[in-house]
Homo-oligomer: A and B are copies of this chain.
Amino acid sequence: MSQQRHGVTPGNAPGDRAGAVPAFPDLPEATIARLPEYLRALHNLGDAAADTISSEGLAAAAGVNSAKLRKDLSHLGSYGTRGVGYDVTLLIEQIEYVLGLDQRRAVCLVGLGNLGHALAGYDGFASRGFKIVALFDADASKVGELIQGLEVRHIEDLGRVAVEENIAIGVIATPALAAQAVADVLVDAGVTSILNFAPCVLSVPANVDVRKVDLAIELQILSFHEHRKASLTALPGGRSAASAGNQEAVGS
């Protein structure tokens, strides 16, 4: 593995290798998507367990196999000790650094319908490195409402507030029809990461990252597997679990 020098800014990275090139360790996307899972597992473990963990143990806690975990961690220069395992604290620091969680990123949430309300109140954000600093809605009747101590503002103020509050990530929880317009406003305001809950495709400039969560799609994928399972079990007499399914839970 080459890119040992993960840290860009020396002194910021927990592990300070000598001459650190400015290049950011470019991890495979698949690895990036799993790092948060490892981090969660480590935090759970850290509470009650030893200060070191084997790849086998951590892999089990994160729901992956150990070879994959080792390869993933090796990408970040890895902080394991052969014959022993990984130092839990060090590994947490390292992953948090790579994910950029050492700086709490400001998040704004647009659309305070059903889902938006829930997201505004979701404590999993705060506890895992994010702070919702502003709420927006286009509906005048919602503006001014207090949710979790934050006042809902009108979408028109988004541009100004986004800059003021240095918002890095925008969450869209509006109806599909409004989503593209909201995305445009976010992009104009300098936001370069968007989490989209609206069931539609957003078009954004190349430098903006969009991730999409579509709850109905998740169910439809499960529906497919139900359909498949049903068509495999010759004649499903009852509710008994049968047949040879795939050997492990389908990944996210």
Contacts and interface: CB of A to CB of B under 8 A. Distances in A.
A5 B235 contact: yes
Given A29-B250, A199-B124, A220 B24 contact: no
Given A5-B235, A202-B249, A212-B252, A226 B169 contact: yes
Interface stretch (A33-41, A66-74, A82-90, A133-141): A33-41
Interface string A22-65: 10101001001101110111001000000000000000011100
Contact of A224 (B98, B212, B218, B242): B98
A81 interface: no
A192 interface: yes
Interface residues of A, number: 106
A88 to B, nearest CB: 17
A98 B227 contact: yes
B8 A222 contact: no
Q: Which 3 A-B pairs have the closest CB atoms?
A: A100-B227, A7-B231, A207-B245
Given A1-B236, A44-B200, A107-B219, 11 more contacts: A5-B236, A36-B214, A36-B217, A40-B217, A98-B227, A124-B216, A130-B216, A193-B225, A193-B226, A206-B245, A209-B250
